[in-house]
Structure 1
Amino acid sequence: MNKNYETVSIDLARIEKLTEQVDSICSLDIPADIPNGDMPGDKIEIGESHIEKARTIFPELVKEIQKAASANPYHRATVCVCGGSGVGKSEIASILSYMLTKAGVKSYTMSGDNYPHRIPMYNDAERLHTFREGGMRALADAGICDAKVFETISKLQKDEDDANAAHVNEYDWFEHYLNGGKTALTNYLGTNSEIDFGEVDTILDAFLNGADKLWLKRMGRDEATLWYDEVDMSETSVLILEWTHGNSDNLNNVNIPVLLNSTPAETLEHRRSRNRDGKLDAPFTMMVLEIEQNKLKEQAHKAKIIITKAGELIDFDTFKQLMD
């Protein structure tokens, strides 16, 4: 799909001059209506904390972009801004892109959420089915799946409470179900079964190989809102991938992973603060977040830049201490 393109080489001098502009760019006022990623219907709300984090990241990002672009024959670089739920990936990626463009280095923000195999509604259903099938299979393997157990599980599923670890204390068989389901879900989330990493990596590869245009996917909430746009990349120096899974081992063409870190306690507090009806998140949702966070932790050693939720740049050793 992305092979029918001409190649262009970006002027490296513009990137080299970034160093001289860091202070002035970091002091820019950031408008609320800056361009954001290419996910249909995605709305960002830029707050002062997002701006401050972007200002902290920017000087380090400039150094990494200069190194990557100097080593690239077309003087281009790819960046991913990754992290868990509520860390501000969309907002911070958009601000960094705006800052680069204002400095004369044009960038484009691409949303990885356009690239699952299934539209959101079906993917959510597939996640839940994967968990439940894994749980039931684990019960069967343990020889526990009798009529009474099935009746109890069926009720818990209808109540959307079958991922609740508290039931381990109620039923001596429940741990088999919970662990089997969680293992199956772990083997699905953020893998090639869920996401078309191949397409994303092909796009990144084409960009790094000088593509003057790219066909980029757009995925809405239903089957009737899925299409591709041809995007002009002829003057673009930096492609920013905004995505939870941007630092995945399934991607080979990300030059600069930027991890927006959040501890499990911070993630939970954020979700509670956004819960307008006062209800806690469903146990299954919390399990998904836990699995995603574990995968982010496993991949963090590759990050070139790590910033905490409090806005502090840290190294990998400090990250490990925080997460432990």
Structure 2
Amino acid sequence: MNTNYNRISEVSDAVMEKLEAAAEKVASVSIPSDIPHGDMPGDKIEIGDSHTAKAKTIFPKLVDELKKTIGSNKYGRAVVAVCGGSGVGKSEIASCLSFLLEQAGIGSYTMSGDNYPHRIPMYNDAERLHVFRESGIRAMVDAGVMSQEHMEVLKKWQIAEDDANKAHAETDTWFKSYLEGGSKGLNDYLGTPKETDFEEVDQIMKAFKDGADKLYLKRMGRDEASLWYDEVDMSSKQVLIVEWTHGNSDYMSQVDIPVLLNSTPQETLEHRRSRNRDGKLDSPFTTMVLELEQQKLVDQAHKAKIIITKAGELINYDEFKKLYNMD
């Protein structure tokens, strides 16, 4: 028993020394564009200068946090969550951070939280829409505005995938109850155990911190036949990085260091516009989903150990609150 404890202590001491050296040398490390990335099947990432720059900005602060966390774990391990909204660069920056750790001789694995919804993407998208529409129609009944005439109008908007468009409430006042009820129902689904198996993710992180030499990790593709588990060797890993919108969720208890890649709603919208080659904007429903997810990120931000802006500036929580005019 003492021999095992001594071995673990020696591993932890060695990791601490490597972390110290890594933080000092990070500026001179070159990050190639073809580095290993997360474990989401079919996930394609393109690492650019902005991603590497942000990773190098985050890294020294991450090292400070890792030294505290690894030092308090008897196996010399830590779980890092890289979270943020759509298009903020979670996969890319998490991969860069993992690469920097590996280059310093600190074993790191990048895991995608997008493998853990209860439904494959196609069915989960359909469930989100169903929840929104069912909740909206129930709200119309409760508000006393249900009628055949209103339903005929609503049906046309639904067919056109325009039934989450806030502009309709300006001309059709009854629509407000549908919109508010649908939004509330959707919010109660997004990023909750109804949508995602947070318990499984938490168990994986706990097993890692408890010294597991191997883990069975879920893989979720785009169809029902693309669902399986891989056995992953963790014997040489000290850091598990989880890249995921919901990485800072209250439904998990095993994340040691949440890293928030912040992007204001305006910045997110501009980014998505720039990525659409045909100039087509998101549907009103997709916009609603993004807005609700963004609010959840804002509500959870107080737990983040590291916050970086889209411009690449490290900020504290007080500075974050000023961005959102929070008291």
- Tell me, yes or no, if structure 1 residue 279 matches structure 2 residue 280: yes
- 1:4 corresponds to: none
Distance 1:14 1:304 in 2: 24
User: What is the CA distance between 1:205 and its match in structure 2?
Assistant: 0.4
> Does the 8 Å contact 1:220/1:226 carry over to 2?
yes
Question: Percent identity at matched positions?
Answer: 65
> Does the 8 Å contact 1:83/1:243 carry over to 2?
yes
Distance 1:241 1:47 in 2: 20
- 1:190 corresponds to: 191
Partner of 2:167: helix, strand, or coil?
helix
Aligned pairs for 1:200-215 (under 5 A) are 200-215=201-216
Query: CA-to-partner distance for each residue in 1:113-142, whole Å, 9 max, x for gaps?
Result: 000000000000000000000100000111
- 2:15 corresponds to: 15
- 1:230 corresponds to: 231
Partner of 1:32: helix, strand, or coil?
coil
Distance 1:9 1:295 in 2: 38
- Tell me, yes or no, if structure 1 residue 66 matches structure 2 residue 67: yes
Which amino acid letter does the alignment assign opposite residue 101 of structure 1?
E
Query: CA-to-partner distance for each residue in 1:5-26, whole Å, 9 max, x for gaps?
Result: xx99481123211112323233
Distance 2:145 2:105 in 1: 65
- Tell me, yes or no, if structure 1 residue 25 matches structure 2 residue 26: yes
Partner of 1:240: helix, strand, or coil?
strand
- 2:256 corresponds to: 255
Distance 1:268 1:25 in 2: 32
Distance 1:90 1:83 in 2: 10
- 1:240 corresponds to: 241
Deviates more, 1:9-18 or 1:267-276: 9-18
- 2:122 corresponds to: 121
Superposition RMSD on alpha carbons, in Å? 1.2
- 2:295 corresponds to: 294
User: What is the CA distance between 1:232 and its match in structure 2?
Assistant: 0.4
- 1:149 corresponds to: 150
> Does the 8 Å contact 1:117/1:196 carry over to 2?
yes
Partner of 2:26: helix, strand, or coil?
helix
> Does the 8 Å contact 1:25/1:103 carry over to 2?
no
Distance 2:21 2:117 in 1: 40
> Does the 8 Å contact 1:215/1:231 carry over to 2?
yes
Which amino acid letter does the alignment assign opposite residue 87 of structure 2?
G
Distance 2:173 2:186 in 1: 22
- 2:169 corresponds to: 168
Partner of 1:144: helix, strand, or coil?
coil
- 2:222 corresponds to: 221
- 2:268 corresponds to: 267
> Does the 8 Å contact 1:14/1:104 carry over to 2?
no
- 2:54 corresponds to: 53
Query: CA-to-partner distance for each residue in 1:210-231, whole Å, 9 max, x for gaps?
Result: 0010000000000000000000
Distance 2:324 2:112 in 1: 26
Query: CA-to-partner distance for each residue in 1:59-84, whole Å, 9 max, x for gaps?
Result: 00001011001101111000000000
Aligned pairs for 1:127-138 (under 5 A) are 127-138=128-139
Distance 1:105 1:63 in 2: 14
Partner of 1:230: helix, strand, or coil?
strand
Distance 1:9 1:120 in 2: 41
- 2:159 corresponds to: 158
Which amino acid letter does the alignment assign opposite residue 83 of structure 1?
G
Unaligned runs of at least 5 residues, structure 2: none
Which amino acid letter does the alignment assign opposite residue 288 of structure 2?
M
Question: Which stretches of structure 1, 4 residues or longer, exceed 6 Å deviation after superposition?
Answer: none
Q: With structure 1 as the length reference, what TM-score do the two structures score?
A: 0.97
Which amino acid letter does the alignment assign opposite residue 302 of structure 2?
H
Distance 2:38 2:8 in 1: 24
> Does the 8 Å contact 1:108/1:240 carry over to 2?
yes
Distance 1:76 1:14 in 2: 12
- 1:177 corresponds to: 178
Partner of 1:278: helix, strand, or coil?
coil
Partner of 2:88: helix, strand, or coil?
coil
- 1:110 corresponds to: 111
Which amino acid letter does the alignment assign opposite residue 40 of structure 1?
P
- 1:34 corresponds to: 35
User: What is the CA distance between 1:304 and its match in structure 2?
Assistant: 0.2
> Does the 8 Å contact 1:25/1:102 carry over to 2?
no
Partner of 2:218: helix, strand, or coil?
strand
Deviates more, 1:276-285 or 1:235-244: 276-285
Which amino acid letter does the alignment assign opposite residue 13 of structure 1?
D
Query: CA-to-partner distance for each residue in 1:259-290, whole Å, 9 max, x for gaps?
Result: 00001100010011111111111000000000
